[in-house]
A and B are shown apart, each in its own frame.
Chain A
Amino acid sequence: MRPPKRLRRRLKSAVLLGLCGIAVLLMLVPLASILYACFVNGAGAITPDFFLKNPPPPCNPAAGAPCPVGGVQDAILGTLLLVGLASLIALPVGILAGIYLSEFEDRPLARPARFLADVMTGIPSIVIGVFVFGIFYSFAEAGWISPFSVISGYTGAVALAVIMIPVVARTCEEALRLVPTSIREASLALGIPRHRTILRIVLSAARGGVITGSLLAVARAGGETAPLLLTAGFTTGSIFGLSGWTPSLPVMIYEFASANYPNTTQLAWGAALVLVLMMLLISVGARLALRNRFGGRVA
């Protein structure tokens, strides 16, 4: 009686564990397919024009005349401006808030702030977009800003910043917590004031984690689409600063994908290729740096 039963158990074990291995392979299929599609459809769009021109008007190749492909100069510029301004707001606030959560954790505000930061990271980004749009909409109703600047690069940058702040704060807090208490005590024992201890010694010891955490947040903001769709708008024309509708690469991909003209679709694939390569580069780099420094994952 025993051998067949034992065989069955071993067979079951092999089959189920084999399925686990297949699951890993299946997970890799979509990633491979996405990268392949981006390269095949998008590599052709990456010419010097891609960075130096703006998108052409929609063009139907059936009409006979060749369709220009053009480029996405102002969308790249728009993304850089939006993410730049958002980082300018979010990184200082986020890092200082992270310092508060880690170094002043005995204060009464630290626990609710940490809890609410976690809550904020769970709120869908499109809701953040509605929220920031609502703020600026109220400003316009109150007459503080012109109704035409409710949808503008500034609104978009604020929306990105609101998404980034809790992420930066929590990763910064985690990084600061890895700094041994003895370092703080040693510095304080030498008579160095607390703010200098934190800024010069603790922050400097944790800079690897803080920088990579910030970088991951910046990368995430660079790929955000839904909030920008509501707050920054889109235009295929040139931009002048952030005061008007500001195109960005992600929103452009969405608009061109839905428009479905061959030449602009190719631009969308090109932009997707650029975006994906940028994200992969940043995320691989950040992960490698984190692994080397702390021997484990942080984000």
Chain B
Amino acid sequence: MGEAPVGSGAGADARPGPPGVPPATTSPLARGAARRLRARAADLAFGWVALAAAGALVVLPVLLVIVLAQNSWMSLVRFGPGFLFGRTWDPNLAPITFGAVPFVAGTIETSVIALLIGVPLSLGAAVFLAELAPDWLRAPVASVVDLLAAVPSVVFGLWGLYVLVPFMRTSVDPFLVKYFGWSPIFAGHAGSQSGQSILTASIILAVMILPTISSVSREALRATPDSQREAALSLGATRWEATRLGPLAYARSGIFGAAVLGLGRAMGETMAVTMTIGNSNRVATSLLDPGQTLSSLIAINFGNALALELSALVELGLILMALSLLVNVVARLMLRSITRLGGSTA
């Protein structure tokens, strides 16, 4: 791939022989030359092996796009751009009809609501941990919050299905319908009383992205120089005003980047959503309606899909990849100003 040979230039073996001594046939010198040659060959080989490994990082994403495009070809040709605007997903219809709208809508609905719930909470926690908490409390609480990130998605799903869904069904949903049912977003439609809904899935997603958003924005807050806080305090600002004028303003782009990173995670999340969203292939108008996301439909239907449906599901995967790619690139651009964060937190 146009690589310079490894070990040329910098490297111990590039050292010239002792000056003034001719390249003679005396045995110690010959042995030294042979050893240098061997070392050089080994350096070269090692460089190629490392190159091959790094090549995997380049080849895999390229191959990913090719394989997804190839496997969704049947659906791409059959439905064309209309796939993006179709509202029906039904393999049993007379002309088989597949459209992505309900799932793109479900993905965006759930992840945006998750963000609305998750950002204030995790930002509050980040402010507490970065600005207010005494030193002895900071590290333990921060690592407990980070533990949430270690819980596997399917365990969130199990908890959601057997703890959160019954709670939503018996307490939260009836309350919302009773007092906010007049508004279309909390309307209680027939058949949506199971507790499995867009709202339930969004709450789970919010919990799952809390550690990401709070740890990244915590780092951003911590990167604020003390002079920012001191300047505000010296002008007579209260502690909150100093926090708002100092760290919160200074770390704005980092916090925004953290939120977008959380959005990306929420969009790709599969198992917890699949188990709590109710799996209905229609566009949900009320938050209490069941719905479906791109990832949850793939998870549910992939196993027993036939040729054309399989191909359409792969096309949904392609759409999901494009969406999360877009969001992740935006997040990385926003986080680039904070050194190291862009790379190591995803």
A residues neighboring B (CB under 8 Å): 9-10, 12-14, 16-17, 19-24, 26-28, 30-31, 33-34, 37-38, 41, 92-97, 99-101, 103-104, 107-110, 112-114, 116-128, 130-131, 133-135, 137-138, 162, 165-166, 169-171, 174, 188-199, 219, 222-226, 229-230, 233, 250-251, 253-254, 257-258, 265, 268-269, 272, 275-276, 279-280, 282-284, 287, 298-299
Contacts and interface: CB of A to CB of B under 8 A. Distances in A.
Given A124-B295, A272-B158, A30 B344 contact: no
Interface in B120-156: 120-125, 127-129, 132, 141, 143-156
Contacts of B53: 92-97, 99-100, 169
Nearest to B120: A23
18 contacts: A9-B238, A13-B241, A27-B122, A27-B214, A28-B144, A104-B50, A117-B57, A126-B317, A126-B320, A130-B68, A138-B71, A166-B60, A223-B155, A229-B271, A229-B302, A254-B154, A279-B152, A299-B344
A294 to B, nearest CB: 12
A31 B147 CA distance: 8
B70 A138 contact: yes
B187 interface: no
Interface in B147-187: 147-159, 161-163
A119 B328 contact: yes
Given A13-B241, A20-B127, A116-B58, A225 B152 contact: yes
A135 B314 CA distance: 12
Contact of B267 (A12, A124, A257, A268): A124
Contact of A134 (B47, B60, B68, B158): B68
A47 B112 CA distance: 43
B207 interface: yes
Interface in B272-321: 274-275, 295, 298-299, 302-303, 313-314, 317, 320-321
Interface in B232-289: 238-241, 243, 264, 267-271, 274-275
B150 A131 contact: no
Q: At the interface, is chain A mostly helix, strand, loop or mixed? A: helix
B143 A229 contact: no
B302 A230 contact: yes
A162 B57 CA distance: 9
A33 B163 contact: yes
A204 to B, nearest CB: 16
Which 9 pairs from chain A and chain B are nearest by CB? A124-B268, A223-B152, A23-B124, A122-B328, A96-B53, A13-B240, A195-B46, A193-B39, A13-B238
Given A34-B159, A193-B43, A253-B155, A96 B49 contact: yes
A284 B148 CA distance: 11
A1 to B, nearest CB: 16
Q: At the interface, is chain B mostly helix, strand, loop or mixed? A: helix
Interface stretch (B7-15, B23-31, B74-82): B7-15
B155 A97 contact: no
A162 B240 CA distance: 46
A200 to B, nearest CB: 12
Contact of A171 (B55, B299, B344): B344
A226 B148 CA distance: 19
Interface string B36-74: 000110110111011111111110110110011011000
B54 A110 contact: yes
Interface residues of B, number: 104
B22 to A, nearest CB: 21
B264 to A, nearest CB: 6
Interface of B: 1-4, 6-7, 10-13, 15, 39-40, 42-43, 45-47, 49-58, 60-61, 63-64, 67-68, 70-71, 120-125, 127-129, 132, 141, 143-159, 161-163, 207, 210, 214, 238-241, 243, 264, 267-271, 274-275, 295, 298-299, 302-303, 313-314, 317, 320-321, 324-325, 327-329, 332, 340, 342-344, 346
A110 to B, nearest CB: 7
A170 B71 CA distance: 30
B56 A93 contact: yes
Contacts of B328: 118-119, 122
A113 B58 contact: yes
Contacts of B55: 109, 113
A225 B154 contact: yes
A177 B223 CA distance: 21
A134 B125 CA distance: 42
Q: In the complex, which of the residues B50, B63, B342 has the most CB atoms of chain A within 10 Å of its own CB atom? A: B50
A276 B153 CA distance: 10
A97 B57 contact: yes
A12 B238 contact: yes
B241 A124 contact: no
Contact of B141 (A24, A99, A101): A24
